Amino acid sequence: MRKGQYRFVAGFLFVPVALYLIFVIWPYIQTFGYSLTNWKGQSQTFDFVGLDNYKALVEDDVFLKAIWHNVFFLVFIPVITILLALFFAFMLNAGGRGRAGGVQGVAGSRLYKIVYFFPQVLSLAILAVLFNAVYRSDGGGLLNGFLIKLGLVDADSPVEWLNEPDMVLWALLLVVVWHGVGFYLVLFSAAMQSVPRDIYEAALIDGAGRGQSFFRITLPLLWDTVQTAWVYLGIVAMDMFVLVSSMTQNMGAYGGGPDHHSDVMSTVMMRNFLYYGKSGYACAMGVVMLLLTLVLSVVTLRATRRERIEF
């Protein structure tokens, strides 16, 4: 590059980099600074307490319990969502009856993609309202009403889906999976359509079944896309604030019931920040969440890294 070109590129990048530093990096630095104080959030007067907030986190049973709930979502949300999305995408793109040895998707696959993608257009707030009606703990709830009609549940003692400690996390998990499968189905379908049909047809000629074609051809060629999906779903699992705070029983504020059995790190943080007035302590939780999310992303990318397959 010539000297004038360097100046042009530097001038072009100055404004976006400056905005990024001001509106993204600086708030992170501020949060870390506040996490070292006893800031109450209502005023600008606070005292430096060092690492006391972080030491308190280690002894906070509610926060430690919330971390395990995030780990639960971190394990099951990516696994279930990706497996279902891959299965449906493969069936839509290569699950139809072959013509003259060829490979094609099922009839009406475009319509199916729209139907599967529809939950993605709903906001999480609308989703919470919708599934609160589904999980209502009386006969008027969609799920309980259906089970009562089938005679699987007694009308006098319906299942309290969001008030059972052993059931509430699974109920929330179902909502996230239902919401996310359609998006990743479309994502994987787009990646599959870039794979030449000749590869599938050659595999069929060699006697490979659909299962072998999926594991030997589709999955290796889509691995980069699966890796990206895993990172994004991991970030979703580390958040979960909107659904938990909107759908679960209040524990003072911001959900988490029953008895903190659905609390996640974000709900505990917001409760301490806005409800209890422990803003410095909540900032320490935010820093921990940031570090865990960064570690998760790096570990996931490195653990799932494979040699790129060209076609």
CATH number at residue 291: 1.10.3720.10
Mean pLDDT for all residues in the chain: 85
Range of the domain at 261: 61-303
Is 292 contained in some domain?
A: yes
Q: How far apart are CA 285 and CA 272, in angstroms?
A: 9
Is 150 contained in some domain?
A: yes
Is 48 contained in some domain?
A: no
The number of CA neighbours under 13 Å toward the Cβ of 127 is: 22
pLDDT digits (tens, 9 = 90+) for 165-213: 899 999 999 999 999 999 999 999 888 888 777 777 777 777 777 777 7
Q: 279, 302 in Cβ contact below 8 A?
A: no
Is 146 contained in some domain?
A: yes
One-letter amino acid identity for 53? Answer: N
Q: What sections of 40-108 are H helices per DSSP?
A: 52-58, 61-94
Is 34 contained in some domain?
A: no
Is 33 contained in some domain?
A: no
Going by C-alpha positions, the residue among 228, 234, 116 that lies closest to residue 179 is 116
Q: 130, 121 in Cβ contact below 8 A?
A: no
Angle made by CA atoms 199, 203, 209, in degrees to the nearest 5: 130
Cis peptide bond upstream of 258, omega within 30 = yes
Give the chain's domain count. 1
Q: How far apart are CA 97 and CA 102, in angstroms?
A: 8
Average of per-residue pLDDT across 254-261: 84
Q: What is the pLDDT of residue 252?
A: 63
pLDDT digits (tens, 9 = 90+) for 87-145: 888 888 776 555 544 556 667 777 888 888 888 888 888 999 999 999 988 888 889 88
Q: What is the pLDDT of residue 100?
A: 46
Is 16 contained in some domain?
A: no
